[in-house]
Structure formats: structure tokens, C-alpha cells
A and B are shown apart, each in its own frame.
Chain A
Amino acid sequence: MILWGSVALFLIVGLLQALQAGGHLDLGFRNWRPTLYAYALMSASLCWAQVLIRGEQGKRVLFVLPAVLFVLSLAIIPLVFGLIIAFSNWNLSSPLGRQFNGLDNVRQMWGDPFYWNALRNMVWYCLAILVEYAVAFGLALLLNAEIRARKFFRVAFLLPLMLSPVAVSWMIGKSMTEIRFGPIARLARALGWDNPSFFGTPEMARTTIMLMDAWTYIPFMMIMLLAGLQAIPKELQEAAKVDGARGWRAFWEVTFPLMLPVSVTALMIRLIFKLKLADIVINVTSGGPGGATDSVTSFIFREYRDRSNVGYGTLLAIVYLVFIIIAMLGLLKLADRWLRPQT
């Protein structure tokens, strides 16, 4: 009774507000809060009803149900709204407001050289992860070895990760690479580069952005790999030594295969971070020169924030999300196949 009553209340209030929003009624609602409150009441009633109707079983459901409702409210419902907006012509400056425009945004995306350019750049940025991985693995091996001041280096190597990418943008991208007085520029001149330029050409600018991003996030991969290395049983490596495997062979035949699961996890998480690359690009190059450093997120940021193009910007974000999901699922499948023969 309580449950169905609250559901009915939610539906009625939502319907009345929708009718008012559509201009069919004027009930004096000033905002959508009544529907929100009715939804909250329905959610609470649903939880309460579980206990009342199902008893002990209902109490168990109560452990999960609030989280389900939370995800539904803050992820699924907004995603549905996002989809509605993605297929709309909605420029905040337009007096016409939001208008459904079918597949027009998809067609615009298809012919948008800035978006495809940003996607191409993302391929380069993502490929750089392999280099970052190699460096991170090397550093992890170094810190796993019996070297002096090992604890100090572990903390020191982690410091870049603790910095905000925005701070990195200003410290390195704006100050240290400043061509006249920046210490990196001075060093470059001292090393014989007469007129150092870190953002003057597309290739150089993209490389500099990659280096700054790598400097920030290599410690993250390094610490994950270091944890993996320390989890490898010492007996295995000692047994390999007894069998005559040393140096490169010991690493390639024993350590690397054992590290594959950790490596795949580190690479996947790093990939997710990389696909969100925006702050350094926005702050340092604004995507230039000529779009050479633009990431998909930084382009969407300009489209959405600077141009108030909410409909098209949302579509780009949704399509990017689909790309990411497909790519991640594909990579996980590949990794699964790759790892299976090892077990």
C-alpha cells in the first residue's frame, strides 16, 4: 500500500510537471523539486517495503538496494538524459532552446575534422603508454633491487603523481619551458640548441605534452609494478638462478611472465587515465599548434564550454564513451587470451 502509494505519487507528480513543462498546464511549479522529493519518497518506501514484505530476506536486499538506487539515480538516469540531449540541437544562446534533431549531430561529427584529428591524436597519446610502461618497469626493477636509499627514491619517484596536472601545466608547460628564462630552455641552450622551442612545431608540441603527462603518471604505473614485483615469491627467482637463468633471460622467462597480470591491470588503468587527458592540453597549448595536441576531452571542453553547444558536445562525449567501452572490452579480451596459455 505504502509502496504503491508512493509510486503513484511519483508518477502523478512527474506527469503533472512534464505537462507543465510541455506548456499544457500551469500548476505553478517553479522547479522540478516536487518530482525529486516524490522520487526520494518512493525510493525510501521501496526499501522499507522490502523489510515489511520479505522479512529477513528483505533485510539482505536492503544491503544492496540503496546502492542500486544510487547508481540508477546518478548514473543510469543521467545517461538516459544525456542520450536525449545528444540527439538534440541545443545551443544555449539559441532562443529556440533544445530541439530534437535526429542524426544531425552524428552527421556533423562524421564531417568534423577537429574531432577526428583529436581521435588521431589520442591514438598517438595511447601508444606512448607502451614507452611509459617500459620506463615504469625499469624504475620498478631498480627500486626492487638492493640499492642504497631505496626508500628515499620510492618516495621521490612518487612525487610527480602527487602534483595536480594543472600545477604541472603551469610549472613545466608555462614556466620551465619558457623560451627565454625557463630552466629547461636554458639547459637546452647550454647543450647547444640555439633557439629552443618546445611547442613550435606539431611534432615537438605533441612530444612535449606526452613527456609532461608521462612524467606525472609513470610513478603510478611504477608503484603498481613494484607491488607486483615484491609479490613474486623469492623462491621462484632463486630456482631460476639455480637452473642457470640470469640477467635478461631471468627477466624475460621468469619475471615478465609472472608480472603479466599486474602489467595488464596497470596498462588498463593507465589507458583510462590517458583517455581522459585534458587538463595539461587545455592549460598549455589549448590543443595547438593547429590541433596537433588536441585531445578528445579538450576539444569537447571547447565545444561545450566556450561555444555552449550542449547537444553536439554531449553527442561527442557519448560517442567517445562508446569508443572507450569497445576498446577496453577488446583489450581485456585480448589480454585474457594472451594470459590464458601462461596458466
Chain B
Amino acid sequence: MKPGLYDMAARQAMTRRRLMQGVAAMGGAMAMSGLGLRPAAAEDNLRAQILAIPGVGAGSPTDADWQKVGELCLGPTRANVAEGEFAGIELTFMGLNNQNLHNVLFRGFLKPWEAYTGAKINWIDLAQADYNPRLQQAIATGTVDFDIIEMGAPFEGDTAGKGLLDPMPDWVKDQIEADDLVAYLQPPVGTWDGKTYRITIDGDCHTLAFRKDYFGDGGIGGAEMPRHWEDVNAMSLALKGQTDPLTGLPAYGFLDPLKGWGGFGFYFLEDRATAYVKHPSDPAWLFDPDTMKPRVNNPGWVQAIQDVMDLNAAGAYPADQINADPGTTAFQQFLAGTGAALTWWGDVGSNARTSDTSVVGDVVGFDINPGAKRVYNHAAGAWEETENFAPNLAYLGWGVYVTNRVSGDEAKRKAAWSAAAHLGGKDISLWMAAYPSGFQPYRNSHFIFEEWEAAGYDRAFVEDYLGSNRDSYNHPNAAIEPRIPGIFQYYSVAEDELAKGFAGQYGSAQETADAIAAAWEKITDQIGRDSQIALYKASLGM
């Protein structure tokens, strides 16, 4: 779980009365298990037991807690590995140390695993900013010096696509109960050319966060938060000149970030565009899979860019929006009481009621991203006047992968996969979803709200916030990130061209989109069109 989210939930949850409710509910759940009403009684007990470590509201978990959880969740490892089987084997694990999470937790979780199996793990900890260059340089210079890596799915093109990863053995799929992953993290995510490489440990998506006090009876934004981008724009234009009900300052509608963010800013134009261009009958929405011709200048994308340009031209954004990146829209604007709505990752939800600078905690609501009243069918080359929703599953979350350094040594290979499987296990993942870990829920079993409530969480919050994540993950027309080499190069150069378009240096949205398409063509040619086509198709499972 994101640390902020945990703090917020803990604050809400731990009244004495609620604690007693939680204990009673958990007792009830255990009693039901005892009566044989639940088939997996031992598993339920384990899940309730680890959720009680250290207990919601009992302070931040420590290394001792991580080790306890790791020890309790060793069952699947014991079933597949004999005690001491990996004695003498050393593995190197490269991952992040953001906010003292990620690798820091993994160390604790894997200590009991090391003690049981006899293997030893050496750690390479990286700050987020160092991660990308370190990985890219290791790949480009042929100096991969790690056996296990924590990595985002967008890099699968750079690694699996170049044969640097080891395919997952079947026994690992069974151990981690991969069928439990939410729909969008099922293959083709984590697979390449039909082989599976990833143990998912995180989920990511953009959801809509909006101000409930703008809407409803007498609300300045209308009866309810608009569900389509066309209406979102109309709402934003209508709010111009009105006063924010919370702060008494000028009211604004939807907040688009107009400045780049190292490539990550492009996800926010995607939030608008996917509704227009992600046709339910077509998995591709950024490129043509057969030619790698960009679709970014088709009428659907142009409409999304035009929507932003319209609001910009009408002065519907706060002053200086041209210099606002996604960090600004989320933390300096929306959470500080500026604007009616935005789309973002889970951090907005987790900070809304815990951050000292947030003033919108009591009036924030969540939903899946808005849709559109029409969708562009790229295959037919025509608009279809039909409602379309396509939540943007931006970034696809973190996973654990094993590199091909271990492929030639069967014992070492088994050890590496066993360590990775321990981190991606079904039960340990529930603990990571519920306590500060840096990871969001990503399994269907993470959305059993009764478990959260029994552990002491606030039911209403869990249903609202996590529900929007769940509905995005499982949406049948969700827009899934293309996992091709250099995907952030495409995003980064698009940000530069969009900045020119938003600053009025191009004549129209179409001209801006054409400039992006031309720049993308250059990147494709530089990386290699044929290989990109093959890898793009592989990433789409085609």
C-alpha cells in the first residue's frame, strides 16, 4: 500500500469502537472458518494473522514485522523447496529503495527464506531517478550484473525483447496462484513471445478524483460529476468566473497538466485520448501493429488534444497552467483546493486526507476515468456515435523478474525463481497491499473488503477509493500500455511537441499531432522498425 494511504486509513480506522468492531468481525470470520463454512480455513487464518502484524494503527511496520510476515508466508516455498536445498548459492537482487520501501521490505521478507533455503542474497539498491539509466546502460553495454530485478512492465520490451530474461517455470505459476491477478495483469502483460517472465507485485492505473462539493443540488459544477469528456469540458468552461465553495477563490474545472514530466506527462493526454481512440474491438491504440505507423494523429487523438487546447484558449485553467506538470496539478492545485477534478495514480487518493497541505479530504470522490460519447474506429477510419470508456492502466505496476544469468545453472535458477515467487505470493501480497510497501492492490483477492474491514480499515473509504482501482483494472476495454523498447522516448518527445502546440507554435491540434507522429516515426526508424513491429505485436499478444 502507498504509505500515505495507510496513514489515512489508520487514522480513520482506529477509534476504540472501530477496533472492537474489527476484533469482533475478525473473530466472526474465524468462527465461520471453524464451522467449515469457508473451504480454506487455514489460509483464512493465515491472512487474518498476517494482517494483524503489526496491526492497523499500531505504528509503521519494522524489519521484525517484515520478517514475521515472511516467515508465516513460507508455506508455498516449503512445498517446493527442501530445507537447505540452495546452500552455497548467492543471488544478486536489483531494485528500488524509494521511501525506504521496496528492497528494504524485500530484505525482511526474504530473510526467513534465506534461513530456510540456505541461499544468500546480495542487494543493489537504487533511487528512482538512478534506476532507468542504470538499467538502460546495463542492457546497452552488456553488463547485466543482477540475477533478480524489480522492474516495471514498460521495460519488458527492453529486457524480455532482447532475450535478457529467464522464462518462468510452471511450478512458479502454481505457487504464486497467477490466476488470481486482476484481468489486466493477466497475459499478455508479463509475457513475451508466448513465454511468461513476470511475477507481478503491484498494479497501476489512473482514476478520476473529483470534488463532491462542486456537484449535487446547487453545486456550481452541475448535478453530478460529468462522465464524458465532452461534458467535462463543458463543465470546465461553465465554471469560469465562479467561486470555489471550499476556498472562496476562483473555481476551475478539470486540471490538465500542460507541461512535460520526463515522459510521464503524456499519460495524462492518454487519459483523455483513450476514451476516443481505444476501440473495444482493437487492442492497439498508439500504433498500427502491422506498420508501427503512429495513430497519435488520427481524429480521436486530435480531438483529445483539441479538448485541451479549447480549455487553454478559453482561459478555463488556472494562470500558469502552461507551466503545470502532473506534480503541480495533483499536489499544488487539486489537493490544495484548486480545481474540480483530475485524473492521477493512487497517490491523490492516498494524500487527500493525510497530507498536511491537502484541504479536500472530506469532499473528494473517486471513479474510473471519464469516457466519451463517440469513439474513433481506426480500422474503419470513421467515428462511431457510441459511448466508450477506456480506463488508462498507466505504467502497469512493478514486477519481479529473473535474468538469463541464471539460465545455465538449474539450481541457481530454481533459487532465483523461488525467491521471486516468495515475494509475489498470494498471502504476502495481501499484507503488501494493506500496509506501507509502495505497492497497490493487484489481485482479485485484494478486493475482498471484509478482510480489510476485519483488519480495522474504514469500509466506506476502501469501497470508494479501491473500488475505482478495481473497476479500472477489470474494465473490458481498458487501455493497456504498449511494452515496447523505448516507450518513454516516444512519450518524452511527444511532451516537447505538445508543449509547442499548447504554446500556440503550431497552427492546430492536427498540426501538433502530425509533429508528434513525425517524431515517433524517427524514433521507430532509429530503434528499428521491424524489431519494433515484432515486439509490439508480441506485447499485444498478437
Give residues of chain B (502-537) contacting chain A, Cβ–Cβ below 8 Å.
502-505, 523, 526-528, 531
User: Bound state CA distance, A288 and B505, in angstroms?
Assistant: 12
A93-B485, A93-B527, A308-B489 given. 13 additional CB < 8 A pairs?
Answer: A31-B143, A91-B526, A93-B489, A94-B526, A95-B528, A199-B323, A202-B503, A289-B258, A289-B259, A289-B502, A292-B503, A308-B136, A310-B140
From A228-236, A242-250, A299-307, the one touching the partner chain is A299-307
Give residues of chain A (77-113) contacting chain B, Cβ–Cβ below 8 Å.
89, 91-97
Does A295 sit at the interface, judged by CB under 8 A?
A: no
- Cβ of B526 and Cβ of A285 under 8 Å apart? no
- Cβ of B320 and Cβ of A197 under 8 Å apart? yes
Give residues of chain A (113-161) contacting chain B, Cβ–Cβ below 8 Å.
114
Give residues of chain B (259-292) contacting chain A, Cβ–Cβ below 8 Å.
259-263
User: Bound state CA distance, A307 and B338, in angstroms?
Assistant: 33
Does B158 sit at the interface, judged by CB under 8 A?
A: yes
- Cβ of B338 and Cβ of A180 under 8 Å apart? yes
Contact partners of B230 in chain A: CB under 8 A:
none
Q: How far is the CB of B17 from chain A (nearest CB, A)?
A: 38
If the complex has contacts A92-B136, A94-B527, A95-B531, are A307 and B318 also in contact, measured as CB distance less than 8 A?
A: no
| Residue ID in chain A nearest B337 by CB atoms | A180
B319: contacting residue among A197, A309, A310, CB under 8 A: A197
The 9 nearest A-B residue pairs measured at CB? A290-B503, A93-B486, A199-B323, A306-B492, A93-B485, A197-B319, A289-B503, A307-B489, A92-B140
Q: How far is the CB of B394 from chain A (nearest CB, A)?
A: 17
Does B363 sit at the interface, judged by CB under 8 A?
A: no
From B41-49, B66-74, B374-382, B493-501, the one touching the partner chain is B493-501
User: Bound state CA distance, A305 and B505, in angstroms?
Assistant: 25
Does A205 sit at the interface, judged by CB under 8 A?
A: yes
Does B195 sit at the interface, judged by CB under 8 A?
A: no
A285: contacting residue among B262, B323, B528, CB under 8 A: B323
- Cβ of B320 and Cβ of A179 under 8 Å apart? yes
The 14 listed contacts between A and B (C-beta, < 8 Å) are: A91-B486, A94-B526, A94-B527, A195-B319, A197-B319, A197-B320, A200-B320, A284-B323, A285-B259, A288-B323, A291-B505, A306-B262, A308-B140, A309-B489
| Residue ID in chain B nearest A91 by CB atoms | B526
Does A196 sit at the interface, judged by CB under 8 A?
A: yes
User: Bound state CA distance, A290 and B503, in angstroms?
Assistant: 5
Contact partners of B499 in chain A: CB under 8 A:
286-291
Contact partners of B133 in chain A: CB under 8 A:
305
Q: How far is the CB of A184 from chain B (nearest CB, A)?
A: 12
| Residue ID in chain B nearest A90 by CB atoms | B140
Give residues of chain B (301-316) contacting chain A, Cβ–Cβ below 8 Å.
none
Does A39 sit at the interface, judged by CB under 8 A?
A: no
User: Bound state CA distance, A96 and B499, in angstroms?
Assistant: 31
Does B139 sit at the interface, judged by CB under 8 A?
A: yes
User: Bound state CA distance, A97 and B485, in angstroms?
Assistant: 13
Does B127 sit at the interface, judged by CB under 8 A?
A: no
If the complex has contacts A288-B260, A308-B489, are A95 and B496 also in contact, measured as CB distance less than 8 A?
A: no
- Cβ of A302 and Cβ of B492 under 8 Å apart? yes
| Residue ID in chain A nearest B504 by CB atoms | A290
Contact partners of A284 in chain B: CB under 8 A:
323
| Residue ID in chain B nearest A305 by CB atoms | B133
B residues adjacent to A (C-beta < 8 A)? 133, 136-137, 139-140, 143, 157-158, 161-162, 249, 258-263, 318-320, 322-323, 325, 332, 336, 338, 485-486, 488-489, 492-493, 495-496, 499-505, 523, 526-528, 531
User: Bound state CA distance, A275 and B489, in angstroms?
Assistant: 26
- Cβ of A92 and Cβ of B137 under 8 Å apart? yes
Q: How far is the CB of B330 from chain A (nearest CB, A)?
A: 14
B496: contacting residue among A114, A292, A309, CB under 8 A: A114
Contact partners of A196 in chain B: CB under 8 A:
319
Size bracket of the A interface:
35 or more
A residues adjacent to B (C-beta < 8 A)? 31, 89, 91-97, 114, 174, 178-181, 195-200, 202, 205, 284-292, 302, 305-310
User: Bound state CA distance, A36 and B323, in angstroms?
Assistant: 47
B526: contacting residue among A89, A174, A202, A286, CB under 8 A: A89
Q: How far is the CB of A79 from chain B (nearest CB, A)?
A: 20
User: Bound state CA distance, A314 and B527, in angstroms?
Assistant: 17
User: Bound state CA distance, A178 and B327, in angstroms?
Assistant: 13
- Cβ of B486 and Cβ of A199 under 8 Å apart? no
- Cβ of B505 and Cβ of A290 under 8 Å apart? yes
Contact partners of B338 in chain A: CB under 8 A:
180
User: Bound state CA distance, A174 and B393, in angstroms?
Assistant: 29
User: Bound state CA distance, A204 and B356, in angstroms?
Assistant: 32
Contact partners of B336 in chain A: CB under 8 A:
180-181
Contact partners of A95 in chain B: CB under 8 A:
161-162, 485, 527-528, 531
- Cβ of A286 and Cβ of B259 under 8 Å apart? yes
A200: contacting residue among B136, B323, B492, CB under 8 A: B323
| Residue ID in chain A nearest B535 by CB atoms | A95
User: Bound state CA distance, A279 and B493, in angstroms?
Assistant: 20
User: Bound state CA distance, A179 and B505, in angstroms?
Assistant: 24
Contact partners of B325 in chain A: CB under 8 A:
286
Contact partners of B140 in chain A: CB under 8 A:
92, 97, 308, 310
Q: How far is the CB of B323 from chain A (nearest CB, A)?
A: 4
Q: How far is the CB of B485 from chain A (nearest CB, A)?
A: 4
- Cβ of A93 and Cβ of B158 under 8 Å apart? yes
Q: How far is the CB of B261 from chain A (nearest CB, A)?
A: 8
Interface centre among A93, A94, A302 (most CB of B within 10 A): A93
Q: How far is the CB of B190 from chain A (nearest CB, A)?
A: 20
Contact partners of A308 in chain B: CB under 8 A:
136, 140, 486, 489
Contact partners of B262 in chain A: CB under 8 A:
306
- Cβ of B500 and Cβ of A291 under 8 Å apart? yes
Contact partners of A114 in chain B: CB under 8 A:
496
Q: How far is the CB of A268 from chain B (nearest CB, A)?
A: 32
Contact partners of B500 in chain A: CB under 8 A:
290-291
Contact partners of A178 in chain B: CB under 8 A:
332
B322: contacting residue among A31, A288, A306, CB under 8 A: A288
Contact partners of B263 in chain A: CB under 8 A:
306
- Cβ of A91 and Cβ of B527 under 8 Å apart? yes
Q: How far is the CB of A95 from chain B (nearest CB, A)?
A: 5
Q: How far is the CB of B503 from chain A (nearest CB, A)?
A: 3
Contact partners of A179 in chain B: CB under 8 A:
318-320
User: Bound state CA distance, A96 and B523, in angstroms?
Assistant: 13
- Cβ of A290 and Cβ of B502 under 8 Å apart? yes
User: Bound state CA distance, A306 and B264, in angstroms?
Assistant: 10
| Residue ID in chain A nearest B338 by CB atoms | A180
User: Bound state CA distance, A66 and B495, in angstroms?
Assistant: 47
User: Bound state CA distance, A305 and B132, in angstroms?
Assistant: 9
User: Bound state CA distance, A31 and B527, in angstroms?
Assistant: 26
Q: How far is the CB of A216 from chain B (nearest CB, A)?
A: 19
Contact partners of B528 in chain A: CB under 8 A:
94-96
User: Bound state CA distance, A192 and B262, in angstroms?
Assistant: 36
User: Bound state CA distance, A240 and B502, in angstroms?
Assistant: 59
Contact partners of B504 in chain A: CB under 8 A:
290
User: Bound state CA distance, A288 and B322, in angstroms?
Assistant: 8
- Cβ of A180 and Cβ of B249 under 8 Å apart? yes
| Residue ID in chain B nearest A285 by CB atoms | B323
Q: How far is the CB of B222 from chain A (nearest CB, A)?
A: 24
| Residue ID in chain B nearest A308 by CB atoms | B136
Q: How far is the CB of B69 from chain A (nearest CB, A)?
A: 37
| Residue ID in chain B nearest A292 by CB atoms | B503
Contact partners of A96 in chain B: CB under 8 A:
528
- Cβ of A306 and Cβ of B162 under 8 Å apart? no
- Cβ of B496 and Cβ of A302 under 8 Å apart? yes
Contact partners of A97 in chain B: CB under 8 A:
140
Q: How far is the CB of A20 from chain B (nearest CB, A)?
A: 12
| Residue ID in chain B nearest A282 by CB atoms | B262
If the complex has contacts A93-B485, A302-B492, are A289 and B318 also in contact, measured as CB distance less than 8 A?
A: no
